[in-house]
Structure 1
Amino acid sequence: MAEKLVSFPKLNGSNYDNWSFRMKLLLTKEGNWIAVAGTKPEPVTEVWKLKDEQALASIGLAVEDNQLIHIRKAKSAAEAWKALENFHVKRTLTTMVSVMRKICSLRLEKHGDMEAHVSKLAELFEKLHNLQPGKILDDEWLVAILFSSLPEEYETLVTALEARPEEDLTLDMVKGKLIDEWHKKKQRNGDEDDSEAVLYADSKTETDRCFFCKKLGHQKANCEKFRVWRAAKESVSVTKQPKAGTKQPKVVTKQHKANNVSQRNEDHSRSLLVAAIKRKNCGY
């Protein structure tokens, strides 16, 4: 029956904080939390023994297999609970510094999810509180950390809240105000997007009519149908083939012209040489 009631994730190596809270609620619901947190009676009554056995069984059924090693030797629910707490909650200076660094480095991005941000900070605050049992973290200090993690778009609200009396600035009140403001910003941003869409639709006048496809919203230069038509037209090569028997025009290049000039000069030189030889032979 206990296993059926465990509807939350079993204990693993990273979820002890949430698991321990839910497990306490479950044992309380079953009426067996007293076996973990209460004082064992002397002599032990049958009622106490039954509650202790049921609480130990519930704890064992709510952990992953790799966590059973910590509670195998436990003789009571209180021993099992303490063993798991000692393993997962290391109350050392190193652990506290690590949690504090996470708290101080957490920042909400512009237009970020305020609900998720506040929940994450609250989780880290709770973890820090568990590392210092018996010590209560001051709300004023927690509120200051929350304010310092916000982007500039919340500066006006932060300034207004800081003007209130310090006794009014509880963490719960501030979280509520910030989440309300986030919802309002989301609503305003949604309305602005709708307005821009309407203005864009209204701006489609006759000046935006395409002269090719006759539709509104674009001009001919940006018309997809015109681009397709033009591409198809340019891909067709129009060439004229010569008729059969037609003499092809002779193509004369610069090289041909140069060769002709050189040949004429050579012929002229040869003629002059022949003429000179004849004159000499004739006695001229």
Structure 2
Amino acid sequence: MHSKDPLIIWEDLKAVHCTREFATLLSLKHKFLTMKKKKGQKMSAWIGEVKIQVFEMEEAGLTVPDLDIILTLTMGLPSSYDSLIINFDDTPSSDLTLNHVMTWLLAKEICQLTHTIPTPQMTTTKNVKDLLHNVTLSVNKTSLPVEQITCWFCDEKGHYKENCKK
């Protein structure tokens, strides 16, 4: 780099490091569609890994529709998630959004970790979010001393949101 203009330097670096050749795009798409959740990997980490790959693909000039992201998220899961994936077939296409799928994947992981058996009453997204919140609270309460707890409402240490004086 010999230029002192940051814009020229950036464009030169981009030209070197952001290749947009067909083989590169094909490789990125192949990697994306064949991703697999690793054994023991948390669902949030799996979702994050998929989103990182989406970011890389979009930076290379590919458009990644939500349906492709949903496919990658679900195809890369172990068989313990098969029943949930089958239930997505009953979901109206207007409700089958990326956020809906991610919420249910996180809830399924919590059900597996806590051995909670989903009931028909857990069919709405609100109920799933309540489950996620309640399980998170119970996990946090049992794993940390109160002095280390940070209130979700006021961001002060030493108490939970439900005990917050603010």
TM-score (norm 1): 0.37
**Residue 157 of structure 1 corresponds to which residue in structure 2?**
84
- Alpha-carbon RMSD across the aligned residues, in angstroms, is 2.2
Which of the numbers 93, 97, 101 marks the counterpart of 1:170?
Answer: 97
Which of the numbers 17, 22, 25 marks the counterpart of 1:93?
Answer: 22
Amino acid at match of 1:73: H
Larger radius of gyration: 1
- Deviation of 1:123 (Å): 0.9
1:119 & 1:172 partners in 2: Cα distance?
A: 13
Gaps spanning 5+ residues in structure 2: where?
A: 117-166
- Deviation of 1:178 (Å): 0.7
* Aligned partners of 1:143 and 1:174 also within 8 Å: yes
List per-residue Cα deviations over 1:236-272 (Å, max 9, x = no partner).
xxxxxxxxxxxxxxxxxxxxxxxxxxxxxxxxxxxxx
2:48 & 2:55 partners in 1: Cα distance?
A: 10
- Deviation of 1:111 (Å): 5.1
TM-score (norm 2): 0.60
1:82 & 1:171 partners in 2: Cα distance?
A: 34
Look up the SS of the partner of 1:75 in the other structure. coil
List per-residue Cα deviations over 1:72-99 (Å, max 9, x = no partner).
3233222222222212111111211221
Look up the SS of the partner of 1:153 in the other structure. helix
1:186 & 1:172 partners in 2: Cα distance?
A: 21
List per-residue Cα deviations over 1:61-120 (Å, max 9, x = no partner).
xxxxxxxxxxx3233222222222212111111211221222222212455422221111
1:129 & 1:159 partners in 2: Cα distance?
A: 29
Which of the numbers 36, 43, 53 marks the counterpart of 1:107?
Answer: 36
Equivalent residue pairs, number: 116
* Aligned partners of 1:103 and 1:121 also within 8 Å: yes
1:153 & 1:125 partners in 2: Cα distance?
A: 25
2:74 & 2:57 partners in 1: Cα distance?
A: 18
2:39 & 2:86 partners in 1: Cα distance?
A: 18
**Residue 130 of structure 1 corresponds to which residue in structure 2?**
59
* Aligned partners of 1:140 and 1:166 also within 8 Å: no
* Aligned partners of 2:20 and 2:60 also within 8 Å: yes
Q: Residues 154 and 110 of structure 1: is their aligned pair in 2 closer, same or farther, counting only changes over 3 Å? A: farther
Where relative contact order (Cα < 8 A, 6+ residues apart) is larger, the structure is 2
2:65 & 2:31 partners in 1: Cα distance?
A: 18
- Deviation of 1:146 (Å): 1.8
Look up the SS of the partner of 2:20 in the other structure. coil
1:40-59 to 2 correspondences below 5 Å: none
**Residue 119 of structure 2 corresponds to which residue in structure 1?**
none
* Aligned partners of 2:32 and 2:50 also within 8 Å: yes
**Residue 8 of structure 2 corresponds to which residue in structure 1?**
79
1:86 & 1:77 partners in 2: Cα distance?
A: 14
List per-residue Cα deviations over 1:20-68 (Å, max 9, x = no partner).
xxxxxxxxxxxxxxxxxxxxxxxxxxxxxxxxxxxxxxxxxxxxxxxxx
Taking only the aligned residue pairs, the percentage that are identical comes to 21
1:27-38 to 2 correspondences below 5 Å: none
* Aligned partners of 2:33 and 2:72 also within 8 Å: yes
